[in-house]
Amino acid sequence: MDRIVGIDYGRARVGLAQSDPLGIFASPVETVPAAKIIDYLQNYSLSESISKFVVGYPLNLDGSHAEAAKDVDAFLKKLQKAFPEVPVALEDERFTSVLAHRAMIDGGMKKSDRRDKNSVDKISAAIILQAYLDKKK
């Protein structure tokens, strides 16, 4: 079954999410060290067919590229080289960390657990992917 993979790229960590096989909803999967993300995705693709990557793209409030966009651009080149057959869509990632924290609070997660940046990153990836899936409907 094809899956769409959501990616919240950061210099240190990368949050990942996946769609259900029908492409209706997104679920957080994992947070991976940035240096190991391509290897992780290659291993993931051995068990799951990836139909598309949706990568969160950092923008400023005025819509211009944020400073972190340079890091994402460099990652996108590596991703395209490793997966030339898989299309990539960019999704605005503004406010995803805030929304991830809100989702953790609303979900009843303990304050100590909410401090875990790994949780924030993978939930942010799910929010990015869900925004893409909702627009696609």
**pLDDT tens digits, one per residue of 35-82:** 999 999 999 999 999 999 999 998 877 777 778 889 999 999 999 999
* Cα distance between residue 8 and residue 91, in whole Å: 10
Residue range 98-118: mean pLDDT, rounded: 59
CB 19 within 8 A of CB 25: yes
Specify the higher pLDDT residue, 54 or 121.
Answer: 54
C-beta neighbour count of 44 within 10 angstroms: 17
Domains and CATH numbers, the chain: 2-136 (3.30.420.140)
- Residue pair 63/51 in contact (Cβ under 8 Å)? The answer is no
**How far is it, in rounded angstroms, from Cα 4 to Cα 69?**
22
- Binned at pLDDT 50, 70 and 90, residue 86 comes out as very high
What does the pLDDT read at residue 91?
93
Query: What does the mean pLDDT of the chain come to?
Result: 86
What angle is formed at CA 27 by the lines to CA 41 and CA 116, rounded to 5 degrees?
Answer: 85
pLDDT band at 83 (very low <50, low <70, confident <90, very high): very high
